[in-house]
């Protein structure tokens, strides 16, 4: 299967490219804004596997694809703040690139990396199959723009029922390739483990469902191999994890030192999310996806791998 990867320089795309390279079923073409600046590790994989690395100007002339996977977006909350309203035009630009290809190649599948943020501000309880998107339409703030851009993209996709489009909503994701400089909770943990410094955390708890590379690959593989359809699915592991449960486990296994302090100056680009995870199991119903890891087991394994790579 020939697969075009848009946004191949993103963190989650790098992990998927590494996973796809282990399968003889997939031949990838990687698209980025500036090929020369592609991550060295991904560049090595591309060279070994014969995956072309191209800029977007070459997309229309780069051949026939069986599937497109669109990772273009913002992975780091700090970058989402910097982008501001440009998130709307960037999201639409590359989504339109894929949709235009589908119009001339109707047999092509399109996987769009959406986000749990597409549900808006609806996280006082876990998401279910009956949940609705909630946005304060009369009081929209920059923190809502990322989720609104994803929601808009999903609306465009549902308006094309004949197109083979699957929106994959990622809530939380972590791998050993995560940059310590990114502004995520787990990046802060990694940075403290690397430097031996004490991590300061806010007193409020939060529940997250962290997907890791093996289960993400399983889900994407099942979507690619399934009959074409037009739908959206939420990502999930075997079980979410609370902040302090995770901190205790990382402290026990890796010696993390942390202290509870006041509210931290954390970048909150998409608003507060006490229960940022989903009980919606449509991915199992449609594709037979059953995760192999819980959030805790997956995160601990990836931290273990990150520390081993550094040493």
For residue 19, being part of any structural domain is answered with: yes
Return per-residue pLDDT of the chain as tens, 311 residues.
999 999 999 999 999 999 999 988 999 999 999 998 888 989 999 999 999 999 999 998 777 999 999 999 765 555 666 777 888 999 999 999 999 999 999 999 999 999 999 999 989 999 999 999 999 999 999 889 999 999 999 999 999 999 999 999 999 999 999 887 777 899 999 999 999 999 999 999 999 999 999 999 999 999 999 999 999 999 999 999 999 999 999 999 999 999 998 765 455 555 568 899 999 999 999 999 999 999 999 999 999 999 987 76
Nearest to 123 by CA among 270, 273, 279: 273
Kindly give the residue spans of alpha helices, DSSP state H, lying in 170-275: 185-195, 213-225, 243-254
For residue 197, being part of any structural domain is answered with: no
For residue 192, being part of any structural domain is answered with: no
DSSP code per residue over 59-117: GGGS---SEEEE--S--SHHHHHHHTTHHHHHHHHHHHHHHHHHHH-TT-EEEEEEEGG
**For residue 265, what pLDDT is reported?**
46
For residue 216, being part of any structural domain is answered with: yes
CATH code of residue 27: 3.40.50.720
Nearest to 264 by CA among 202, 205, 203: 202
**For residue 268, what pLDDT is reported?**
56
Domain span holding position 44 = 2-179+209-239+273-295
What is the domain count for the chain? 1
For residue 96, being part of any structural domain is answered with: yes
For residue 301, being part of any structural domain is answered with: no
For residue 186, being part of any structural domain is answered with: no
For residue 166, being part of any structural domain is answered with: yes
**For residue 7, what pLDDT is reported?**
95
């Amino acid at each position: 299967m020939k697969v075009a990867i848009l946004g191949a320089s993103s963190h989650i795309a790098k992990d998927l490219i590494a996973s796809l390279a282990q399968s003889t079923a997939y031949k990838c073409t990687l698209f980025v804004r500036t090929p020369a600046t592609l991550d060295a590790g991904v560049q090595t994989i591309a060279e070994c596997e014969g995956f072309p690395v191209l800029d977007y100007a070459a997309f229309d002339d780069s051949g026939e694809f069986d599937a497109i996977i669109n990772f273009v977006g913002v992975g780091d909350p700090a970058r989402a703040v910097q982008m501001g309203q440009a998130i709307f035009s960037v999201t639409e630009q590359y989504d339109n690139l894929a949709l235009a290809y589908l119009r001339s190649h109707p047999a092509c599948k399109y996987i769009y990396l959406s986000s749990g943020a597409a549900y808006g501000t609806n996280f006082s309880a876990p998401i279910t199959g009956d949940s609705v998107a909630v946005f304060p339409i009369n009081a929209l703030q920059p923190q809502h723009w990322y989720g609104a851009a994803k929601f808009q993209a999903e609306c465009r996709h549902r308006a094309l029922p004949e197109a083979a489009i699957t929106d994959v909503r990622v809530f939380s994701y972590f791998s050993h390739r995560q940059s310590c400089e990114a502004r995520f909770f787990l990046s802060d943990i990694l940075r403290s483990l690397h430097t031996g410094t004490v991590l300061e955390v806010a007193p409020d708890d939060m529940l997250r469902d962290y997907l890791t590379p093996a289960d993400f690959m399983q889900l994407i593989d099942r979507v690619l191999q399934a009959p074409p359809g037009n739908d959206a699915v939420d990502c999930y592991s075997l079980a979410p994890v609370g902040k302090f449960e995770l901190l205790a486990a990382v402290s026990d296994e890796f010696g993390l030192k942390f202290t509870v302090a006041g509210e931290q100056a954390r970048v909150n680009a998409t608003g507060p999310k006490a229960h940022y995870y989903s009980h919606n199991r449509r991915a199992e119903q449609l594709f037979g996806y059953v995760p192999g890891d819980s959030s805790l087991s997956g995160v601990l394994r990836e931290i273990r791998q990150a520390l081993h790579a550094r040493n």
